[in-house]
Amino acid sequence: MYYINAAPLKATLVIILFTIMSCGAQEKEEVIASKTHNQSANELTVAKTNKKLRKSQNMKANQKPYPENLAEGHEAIRKILGDDIGQMQFDSDKAKAFRQYLSNASFYTSKNEFSGGVTGTGSANSSTNVLFYQNGTFLHITTSWISISVPGMGSFDKDEQKIPGYWEVASLPDGTLLVIFYSQHPEVLQEFPNGFMPFPIKGYDQQYLISADNERYEKSMINNY
């Protein structure tokens, strides 16, 4: 029977085992370091993304959809119209100047008709006064008088109608100016079911406003408003 000297073999096994353990520990450290690096990178990416999201949310929260100090009525019309504005430009220089021209002013026009004959006479008078308040609201007042006179009898009738609502102005690419009226008054809804009444303007100066159908409105300032 032969005996093998186990001392050198044992020493060799110890060296091999130590080497394997050292390599394993190093690989484990590298894996842990890699995971830590990746985790840190991911956390940094998430932090940056969250920061961008918060910044974007803050910008949206602070963003004003309309110009500052926009009057109540003007903002109401823009909100109701939404994206359905076509080619209307609310904030062009031309629209801004016209808006300032209308603000706190009233515009008056009247018509008179008379007829007469052997059997009698008749007259019909009507007037329209539109008040544009600074807060973007308006009041449209129409007054009419009818007078009939025949031998031995006469009659007179007067009627007044007041329509409130919002007003705004816009310009079109061809330079046309529009006054946009909006009202939920029953008389308006009969003719304009959506409540909007576009009113194109031919021109204006410091004394008169001229509509597209050549009707002339005399301007005056509204007092105490």
Q: Alpha-carbon distance 109 to 132, whole Å?
A: 15
Tell me the torsion sign for CA atoms 158, 124, 216, 78.
positive
Do 55 and 13 fall within a single domain? yes
Q: Higher-confidence residue: 126 or 61?
A: 126
Taking only the tens place, the pLDDT of each residue in 161-189 is 999 999 999 999 999 999 999 999 999 99
Torsion of CA 207, 132, 225, 92, to 10 degrees: -90
Q: How many domains does the chain have?
A: 2
Answer for the pair 142, 114: CB distance below 8 angstroms, yes or no: no
Q: In this model, does residue 139 exceed pLDDT 70?
A: yes
Do 46 and 102 fall within a single domain? no
Q: Higher-confidence residue: 196 or 114?
A: 196
Task: Give the number of other CB atoms < 10 A from CB of residue 98.
Answer: 20
User: Residue 44 is part of which domain span?
Assistant: 1-63
Do 180 and 103 fall within a single domain? yes
Q: Alpha-carbon distance 139 to 184, whole Å?
A: 13
Q: Which pLDDT belongs to residue 158?
A: 86
Do 51 and 96 fall within a single domain? no
3-class secondary structure, 2 = coil
60: left (phi over 0), alpha (psi -120 to 50) or beta: alpha
Say which DSSP state 89 is in.
B
Q: Alpha-carbon distance 178 to 169, whole Å?
A: 6
Do 187 and 82 fall within a single domain? yes
Please, which residues bridge with residue 115 across strands? Answer: 122
Do 112 and 163 fall within a single domain? yes
Mean pLDDT throughout 148-153? 77
Domain boundary among 15, 44, 63: 63
Torsion of CA 91, 94, 100, 103, to 10 degrees: -90
What phi, psi does 90 have (nearest 5°)?
Answer: -80, -30
pLDDT > 70 in the chain, percent? 68
Do 29 and 79 fall within a single domain? no
Q: Which pLDDT belongs to residue 86?
A: 82
| CATH number of the CATH domain containing 193 | 2.40.128.640
In single-letter form, the type of residue at position 47 comes to A
In single-letter form, the type of residue at position 214 comes to N
Do 101 and 159 fall within a single domain? yes
Q: Which pLDDT belongs to residue 26?
A: 53
Domain boundary among 34, 63, 92: 63
Do 41 and 148 fall within a single domain? no
Domain boundary among 43, 63, 83: 63
Do 137 and 212 fall within a single domain? yes
Structure tokens given for 192: 């304009």
Do 173 and 78 fall within a single domain? yes
Taking only the tens place, the pLDDT of each residue in 26-82 is 544 554 445 454 455 445 544 544 454 454 444 444 444 556 678 999 999 999 998
Q: Alpha-carbon distance 10 to 179, whole Å?
A: 103
What phi, psi does 63 have (nearest 5°)?
Answer: -70, 135
pLDDT band at 154 (very low <50, low <70, confident <90, very high): confident
Do 134 and 95 fall within a single domain? yes
